[in-house]
Structure 1
Amino acid sequence: MSRLITQRRFAPLFWTQALGALNDNLLRTLLLLVLVFAALPDDPARQGLATNLVVGLFILPFLLFSAWGGALADRVDKQRLIRRLKLFELGIMLLAAAVVWWESRLLLYGLLLLMGVQSALFGPVKYAILPQHLSPTELVRGNAWVGFGTFAAILAGTLLAGLVATLPPSAARPVAVLALVGVAVTGLAASLLIPPAPSSASEEVPRHPFSTTWAVLADSMRARQLLPAMLGISAFWFLGTCYLTLLPAWASQVAGGQASAFNLLLGAFALGVGAGAMLCARLSAGRLELGLVVLGALLMGSGGLWLAGASPLTLSAATWGELLLQLGFWRMLAALGLVGIGGGLYIVPLYTLIQMLSREQHRARMIAANNIFNALLMLAAALFGMLMLGVADVGLPIFVASLGGIALLIGLGLLVRGPRPLLRLLIFALVHLIYRLKFRGRHHIPARGAALVVCNHVSFMDALVIGGASPRPLRFLMDRPIYESPWLNWWFRIVGAIPVDADRRDPGSVRRALDEVSHALRHGEVVMLFPEGRLTPDGDIHRFRRGLDIILARDPVPVVPAGLAGLWGSWTSHQGGRALTKWPRRIRARVALYFGEPLSPQEARCAMLEVRVRELKAEADGWALPAPAARSEA
């Protein structure tokens, strides 16, 4: 995972976007301090109005310019577009340096608009370029690093602005100017190292920024696979905006530490999101793991309810040291950290889903549509906060509890609608605890479209290992006695396994199973077959049955061979007695699963596939069974 951040195809983009996010938050926080707290020190009502105006001026360009940014990113080289946007950012920061130096408040509001325009144009291209430089199995890691960099930059920018504000005016101005311009120059330098990313679209570049908004939104409404992900990401930004806007009030009214408490609480939330994003990459292991979305929503909800129940601290303007001696404050930090971790787990798979399912020619437009929805929900978050805390005056704990409740409802709704992703994740995590797993060649499974995966059949655990290893959900064609195993039948039903039995035992079973396989393939799914038709009785690969040829004759699709090693001798195999009738003798055994290059439907015949699977199994044996003594593992 750490190798990606050192490679030129990703590292310059990471630093470009992270430094841009740092400058965004540094400038916005400095402007808030100048426009709101310095200009209106003793007028809370006018402070609130000015704060909302500042937030609105930053969000408005996302509504007006995101669609144009997406259209530009789809139709020009993304590398060149990023460089031009970084030049635009440098110009804004030079102007900001002059404005901050002379404190021209009217121009400061204009700077907020310009900064919002640059961010709105940069948002689509930074996510749309990733699939051009990263493989499908690297996208989750790339998005995790982007999420980590973004929230670390939010924290760093806010803290740096607060540090500048504590300096004497004679020192604060030059430090602010040097920071703004220096970060912009460094970001521009990083953008010069980004590799080319040419466009595949043939349409002309739109010249009018506002003419594309409705067309982009209409396209997003027709993208039924993508719209739920966009709304899910927007729900995260709704909750995140609510948490970020209530933190100052929570710090002063509940935590009792004001600036010190705010910085620590913000740090817990931002670092939690970054840690959650990195944990998502770790748990996903190169797959698009939608079960993490459900888990993340449930963690966000639990963290919100835990925070809502925190008791106010009896402190006044406490320092960092005084706060960290309070057990109640540690509870607040842990709760906000849990909310952040849940957010990181929740949002990274959704961004990856949009990137993977979008057509390349319209990928940036879909991300732009997502940004428009995000901006709308961020405005809705501001209105929701005003309604709850201003009109209804429910108080901060109830407001936080409502945010936790919303997140829990999202998680429970997703779980009820489709439990398979979360259960698949939990089962695969359990398999990881039981075995030491090694996978190779998972990128050979097509990122989209129908395909068959064929593998040797060693044990009842095979389906769980292969299903967890696959970057995409799999449907399994399996022998009915295995399907009806009392230990695993519930799981096979949830994942949509397809049972098949001999016609002599169940007339019509083969025809029904083949019809179900055909239905799955014609809907673009990946189907997993064990061509031997039964568990191996001796650890060797047995003759492949002709059902595979029948399936390919009906639906000619690519076939990915796979070899599995290390499970022979386990309690779920037939070595030393019938499977599931023995006690496990050892855990953490080595298990290897190697995928080979896909074969065309014309090449994929039983004899050819059997040879290829034997070769892959022999290679996997070299890692799973390094010594003869290891062959008796359980």
Structure 2
Amino acid sequence: MLRQRRFLPFFLVQALGAFNDNVYRQAIIGLLFWLGVSPEQRTLYTNLAPALFILPYFLFSATAGQIAEKLEKSRLIRITTAMEIGIMSLAAVGFLTQNMTVLLVALFATGVQSTLFGPVKYSLMPSVLKPEELTGGNGLVEMGTSISILTGMIAGGLIFKLAGDHGPVVAATAIIALAITGNLISRLIPRAEAGAPDLKIHLNPIPESLAVLRLAKKQLAVRNAVLGVSWFWFVGTMLTAQLPTYAEVNLGGAETLYLFVLALFSVGTGLGSLLCEKLSARTVEIGLVPLGAFGMSAFLFDLYFARTGAPPATGLSVAAFLQQPGSWRIVLDLTGVGLFTGFFVVPLFALIQSRTPRGEIARVIAGLNIQNSGFVVLAAVLGVVLQMAALNVFGLRIPLPDWSIPQLFLALAVANTLVALWIFTIVPEFLMRFLSWVLVRTLYRLRVRGIEAHVPDEGPALIVCNHVSYMDALILAASIPRPVRFVMYYKIFNIPVMRWIFRTAKAIPIAGARENPEIMQRAFDEIDAALADGQIVGIFPEGALTKDGEIAAFKSGVERILERRPVPVVPMALRGMWTSMWSRRDTRLGRMRVPRRFRAHVDVIADPPFDPASASAEVLEAKVRELRGSAA
């Protein structure tokens, strides 16, 4: 994707924007030190600046979402990058005149510009990327953002240290040059049509904010993915806000050590984001979300136990810190938290984009941004309050926890575990996908061919495939980017433990006409309703598991489905399953052993869709036999 024009210019623009924002914010701190202002004034800025930057997200996110839905996306990106040039020009005046009021006004305007850019940033990706590319695209964006924030903070912090008396001029020149570069690159972004060009924009922020928040909660899975992303911002804000003091008080470090521990978290997040595509096998694999959540908790727990009190020495450089006992454990913990944070948040963004209608994505992202802002503010306030001994309110002294930073990390680990369990209880699809992901990746080595090209990105479709084992549905689900409603024999559906997975995946149980006509009719009604809703339905037309490795005759149920609802039919074949675990090749006792067929290579092959008018059971059976070939 980084070699293609449909993605590279957009990736560079968003990375440059994040880099420039952090260069600017850190350069203001550098200016305060350069001017020699009092610690009280610096504290005022460090508290005021984040509030000024986050305030536009509350005020203008709903409007930004509507604008991003209505306008052609590449044009809107050019508009926002042109705004950045104007804002940074104002900020440059502030640096040259050392006027903090001008700099803070420009900082608020930067927040406005970021508010406008957010919805178009995440709504553009589903327009230019295929469904199987969403996880990789989001991984690259999150990686680019993490590294840009880190390097921007370092570059901005060094400007006044390296430039000395020329610091104001260098800062002013740098932020304008970066803004101009971003605008020039934005002109290379290909056209991406508006999601809802006829949408009427309403400017009243309160009712529109409530409207986009309701829109983000319309679908259960999307609502909880939005909640998960907001929780990611809460954890990230709480953790990174403590790192400067943690590096000094608990690790005994000088200023450079803070940048080092921040780099560990940022690089870990970037690495985890990139690994998501590899681990998900180019699907929107929400099974990684529980893995990310519990991995975050595990490393946060260990971070608490790694250093609960004062450091053995103070004033340590990075090299000196790494020579201290237990330092590499802390390095591993901070990197691990970042790594699993990437596993947690990237699939959530991909799920939001893949499950939200194209004409609503920008507004859903706007609602997400409003909620994120609330969680960021809550994290910042809690981080301060929980470390206070008492709070005076109208002369009344209210005792507070007065926790140390390691105790905050412990509380964050406990809270993260409880929130994860709560989310996965409400939407068991997350945990179900995790279990199926572990099962499939543990037992098989999948090779997928033709799915990206032949399974439609949107709209209804019927998938037909040969049936070898009880794992077939899980393997196909792990290979197809879109959610699939599988039709399966009701006795397989009712297998203990697997029943919960199948029910959570919204599988459709079916029985033979003589066996239970009521279940059969209910199944055909549910299949038709799913196809009418634009979903993908998967069926195994043989009607039973193969007993000898050969493909049995396809039954006429597929024709009955197409008579009622003519939709494209995608033929698929599983190759290599007969010689793998859990097929019926061996006796039941033989299947319980761990034979050489453990981690067998299994091919999942798809062919171009059939027109429903020509998709008879005999024709589909012949095509699946051809795809499967002789390798059962």
Structures share fold, TM-score greater than 0.5: yes
- 1:298–1:583: structure 2 CA closer, same or farther, 3 Å change rule? closer
Deviations 1:332-390 (A, max 9, x none): 33222222222212211222222223332332122112111111221122221222123
Shift of 1:273: 1.4
Answer yes or no: is the 8 Å Cα contact 1:302–1:408 preserved in 2: no
Aligned position for 1:544: 554
* Residues 221 and 227 in structure 1, CA contact (< 8 A), matched pair in contact too: no
- 2: CA distance, partners of 1:574 / 1:380: 56
Residue 106 in structure 1 maps to residue 110 in structure 2:
no
After the TM superposition, which residues 454-465 of structure 1 pair with which residues of structure 2 at under 5 Å, given as runs? 454-465=464-475
Unaligned residue ranges in structure 1 (runs of 5+): 626-630
- 1:301 Cα deviation (Å)? 2.1
Correspondence 1:220-619 to 2 at 5 A: 220-222=213-215, 223-225=217-219, 226-311=222-307, 312-390=310-388, 391=391, 392=400, 393-443=402-452, 444-447=454-457, 450-479=460-489, 492=502, 495=505, 497-502=507-512, 510-511=520-521, 513-514=523-524, 517=527, 525-575=535-585, 580=591, 584-618=595-629
User: 2:124 & 2:519 partners in 1: Cα distance?
Assistant: 47
Which whole-Å CA distance do the structure 2 matches of 1:334 and 1:37 have between them? 35
What letter is aligned with 1:211? Answer: N
Q: Deviations over 1:30-73 (max 9, x none)?
A: 11333478554444xx5433311111011111222222222222
8 Å Cα contact 2:69-2:197 kept in structure 1: no
- Match in the other structure for 2:71: 76
Supply the distance in 2 between the matched residues of 1:170 and 1:428 (Cα, whole angstroms): 57
TM-fit CA distance, 1:20: 0.6
Change (3 A) 1:180 1:48: same
1:306–1:211 Cα change, 3 Å: same
Counterparts of 2:234 and 2:86 in 1: how far apart (Å)?
31
What SS is found at the alignment partner of 1:6?
coil
Verify the 8 A CA contact 2:61 2:209 in the aligned structure 1: no
Residue in 1 that maps onto 2:29: 32
**Alignment partner of 1:453: what SS?**
strand
Q: 2:14 aligns with which of 7, 12, 17?
A: 17
What SS does structure 1 have at the residue aligned with 2:463? strand
2:176 equivalent in structure 1: 181
CA contact (8 A) 2:34 2:160 kept: no
Structure 2: stretches of 5+ with no match in the other structure: 392-399
Question: What per-residue deviation string (whole Å, max 9, x for no partner) do you get for residues 268-318 of structure 1?
Answer: 111121112112222222222222222222222222222222323222221
Q: Tell me whether 605-614 or 265-274 shows the greater mean CA deviation.
A: 605-614
In 2, are the aligned partners of 1:216 and 1:366 still within 8 Å (CA)? no
Q: RMSD between aligned alpha carbons?
A: 2.9
For residues 580 and 145 of structure 1, the distance between their equivalents in structure 2, rounded to whole angstroms, comes to 41
Post-superposition shift, 1:505? 6.0
Secondary structure, aligned partner of 2:313: coil
Q: Percent identity?
A: 40
Cα displacement (A) at 1:525: 4.9
- State the Cα deviation string for residues 406-430 of structure 1 (Å, max 9, x = none): 2111211133334443343344344
Equivalent residue for 2:126, pick from 123, 127, 131: 131
Bigger shift: residues 452-461 or 120-129: 452-461
2:576 and 2:282 mapped to 1: Cα distance? 22
In structure 2, how many angstroms separate the alpha carbons of the residues matched to 1:454 and 1:126?
37
C-alpha contact 1:62 1:375 (8 A) present in aligned 2: yes
Which segment is superposed worse, 80-89 or 31-40? 31-40
Q: Deviations over 1:128-174 (max 9, x none)?
A: 11111111111111111111110110100111122224225235344
Aligned 8 A contact 2:20 2:175 in 1:
yes
Aligned to 1:580, the other structure's residue is in SS state helix
- TM-superposed CA distance for 1:497, in Å, is 4.7
**Distance (Å, rounded) in 1 between the aligned partners of 2:32 and 2:354:** 42
Q: CA offset at residue 18 of structure 1?
A: 0.1
Contact 1:475-1:528 within 8 A present in 2 as well: yes
Measured in 2, the distance between the counterparts of 1:503 and 1:434 equals 35
Q: Distance in 1 between matches of 2:305 and 2:517?
A: 61
* Structure 2 CA distance for partners of 1:215 and 1:507, relative to 1, 3 Å: closer
Shift of 1:27: 0.4
3-state SS of 1:361 partner: coil
Q: Is the CA contact (8 Å cut-off) linking 1:264 and 1:333 kept in structure 2?
A: no
Q: Quote the Cα distance in structure 2 between the aligned partners of 1:203 and 1:472.
A: 28
Is 1:63 matched with 2:78? no
The Cα offsets for residues 70-111 of structure 1, whole Å up to 9 and x where unpaired, read as 222222221111112112212222332332233222211112
> Are 1:265 and 1:332, in contact at CA under 8 Å, matched by a contact in 2?
no
What SS does structure 2 have at the residue aligned with 1:527? Answer: strand
Cα distance change of structure 1 residues 519 and 37 upon mapping to structure 2, 3 Å threshold: farther
* Aligned counterpart, 1:85: 80
1:8 counterpart SS class: coil
> Match of 1:304, as an amino acid?
L
Could you tell which deviates more after superposition, 5-14 or 295-304? 295-304
TM-score when normalising by structure 2: 0.89
User: Counterpart amino acid of 1:144?
Assistant: G
Closer, same or farther: CA 478–580 of 1 in aligned 2, 3 Å: farther
Equivalences, count = 614
Change in CA separation of 1:583 and 1:366 when aligned onto 2, cut-off 3 Å: closer
Which residue of 1 is the match for residue 188 of structure 2? 193
Question: What is the aligned partner in structure 1 of residue 396 from structure 2?
Answer: none
